[in-house]
Amino acid sequence: RTVTGVTQPRTTTTRPGMITGGRRRPAGTTAGVGAAGGATASSGQNSVLTETKNKISRLKNIDSKLANMILNEVMIDGAAVTWDDIAGLTFAKQALKEIVILPALRPELFTGLRAPAKGVLLFGPPGTGKTMLAKAVAQESKATFFSISASSLTSKFVGESEKLVRTLFAIAIELQPSVIFIDEVDSILTERSESEHEASRRLKTEFLLQFDGAGSNPTDRVLVMGATNRPQELDEAARRRFVKRIYIPLPEAETRRNLLTKLLSGQDYQFSSSEMQSLVRQTEGYSGSDLTALAQDAALGPLRSLGETLLDTPADQVRPIQYQDFVQALQTIRPSVSPQSLMAFEEWNREYGAGI
Ligand code: ADP
């Protein structure tokens, strides 16, 4: 018997306290077209895009090739991540609501002293949900979302990166409210050194100039969100612009439990609550993306155990994912963040973090 397309656990001897799964995640929670203004229906996508293109074509001094590149590669459609998709990080979500969402939804209340921050930095180990948070912020604040990794600015757009930054900010202002998300922001805002390449020095200067420009008109609603795994490399000038600096740590026990449950939902799995407890304990030090990799590997366990018979076994005869599969996966999927680097994050947080 199948329920919403997923095979029920074959065994019917579910003991009390057993945790089992068989529900599929509702369709559309992570997909959908969320282009400018948070439009979600694909039928509306073309008109939104056409309207966007029209607006941009009216902008003066804009290189149309770059503008198209930004529309196609930097402005994100389908970025529909909601707060609920993100496990844990309650304090970060709360802070972002206050700093970004409420001012975006009620701009008339947030003026003068209450003017919202123009720059927010999310820092912490890789794979902990920084990108997801930025996408959720864009979604929840109904802002146009631009996402670019700083390393692609320096590699993919060589020679054009300053111009691209200028064009990006001009378009973001035109399509405001906007969120410009810059991943690996440290790679353009590193401490100036003697050996600093002339090109990267110019890019940095241009970026800071545009950042300041976007904040100079108090009614403009353009937020720059930076993410970094190397906050130590940001210099004072960069730190100062990211007024709010939010630490995104590794998931705590409760969050790991939520995330594992979330990952398993929609799968055929079966293990006891004490096994879940033990799994939560053994995954201390794992990031959200480590946990995802772990669950993906464990999910292959039932297939691996079929050996040669895999090719002939009907789908409904595949056993549920069990605790043992995770024990096996724990051998190969190790935490990616070292204890030393964690200490460095915590130290930086104490010194420069928002204190949350
Ligand atoms: P970062 O930007 O911090 O490097 P991402 O936001 O790109 O990390 O997360 C990488 C992947 O790890 C996500 O696509 C998701 O599958 C998983 N992940 C990480 N943190 C979380 C979380 N808190 N909740 C849900 N999934 C997470």
121 Cα: distance to centroid of ligand 1 (angstroms)? 16
ipTM of model: 0.98
Q: Which atom of ligand 1 is nearest to the CA of 125?
A: 3
Q: 3-class secondary structure for 286-350?
A: CCHHHHHHHHHHHHCHHHHCCHHHHHHCCHHHCCCECHHHHHHHHHHCCCCCCHHHHHHHHHHHH
Residue ID of nearest Cα to ligand 1 atom 27: 288
Q: Which atom of ligand 1 is nearest to the CA of 89?
A: 23
- Please state, as a whole number, how many other Cβ atoms lie within 10 Å of the Cβ of residue 76: 19
pLDDT tens for the chain, residues 1 to 356: 333 333 333 333 444 444 444 433 333 332 222 333 333 444 555 666 677 777 777 777 777 778 877 877 777 766 588 999 999 999 999 999 988 888 888 888 988 888 888 899 999 999 999 999 988 988 888 888 888 888 777 777 777 888 889 989 999 998 888 889 999 998 888 765 555 677 778 888 888 999 888 767 777 889 999 999 999 999 888 899 998 999 999 999 999 999 999 999 989 999 899 999 999 999 999 999 999 999 999 999 999 999 989 999 999 999 999 999 999 999 999 999 999 999 999 999 999 998 65
Q: Which atom of ligand 1 is nearest to the CA of 248?
A: 3
* DSSP-H helix ranges across the chain: 42-57, 64-69, 90-96, 102-105, 130-140, 150-155, 161-174, 198-216, 236-241, 253-264, 273-282, 288-299, 301-304, 323-332, 339-352
Beta-carbon contacts of 343 under 8 Å, excluding residues fewer than 6 positions away, are none
Spatial distance between the Cα atoms of 280 and 275, rounded to a whole number of angstroms: 9
Spatial distance between the Cα atoms of 200 and 155, rounded to a whole number of angstroms: 11
Spatial distance between the Cα atoms of 29 and 19, rounded to a whole number of angstroms: 23
196 Cα: distance to centroid of ligand 1 (angstroms)? 32
Q: Which atom of ligand 1 is nearest to the CA of 255?
A: 23
129 Cα: distance to centroid of ligand 1 (angstroms)? 4
pTM: 0.81
Residue ID of nearest Cα to ligand 1 atom 7: 131
Q: Which of 135, 246, 291, 292 to mutate to test the pocket of ligand 1 (most atoms within 8 A of CB)?
A: 292
Spatial distance between the Cα atoms of 295 and 256, rounded to a whole number of angstroms: 12
Residue ID of nearest Cα to ligand 1 atom 18: 288
289 Cα: distance to centroid of ligand 1 (angstroms)? 5
Residue ID of nearest Cα to ligand 1 atom 23: 87
Ligand 1 neighbours, Cβ below 6 Å, are 86-89, 126-132, 227, 259, 288-289, 292
DSSP code for 248: -
Q: Which atom of ligand 1 is nearest to the CA of 134?
A: 6
Burial of residue 57, with CB atoms counted within 10 A of its CB: 0-12 exposed, 13-18 middle, 19 or more buried: exposed
Q: Name the residue with tokens 């440290």.
A: 186
Spatial distance between the Cα atoms of 16 and 246, rounded to a whole number of angstroms: 41
Q: Which atom of ligand 1 is nearest to the CA of 132?
A: 6
Three-state DSSP state, 120:
strand
CB contact at 8 A, 146 and 74: yes
CB contact at 8 A, 260 and 143: no
Q: What is the CA radius of gyration of the chain?
A: 23
131 Cα: distance to centroid of ligand 1 (angstroms)? 7
Spatial distance between the Cα atoms of 204 and 238, rounded to a whole number of angstroms: 10
Residue ID of nearest Cα to ligand 1 atom 25: 86
Q: Which of 128, 137, 145, 181 to mutate to test the pocket of ligand 1 (most atoms within 8 A of CB)?
A: 128
291 Cα: distance to centroid of ligand 1 (angstroms)? 9
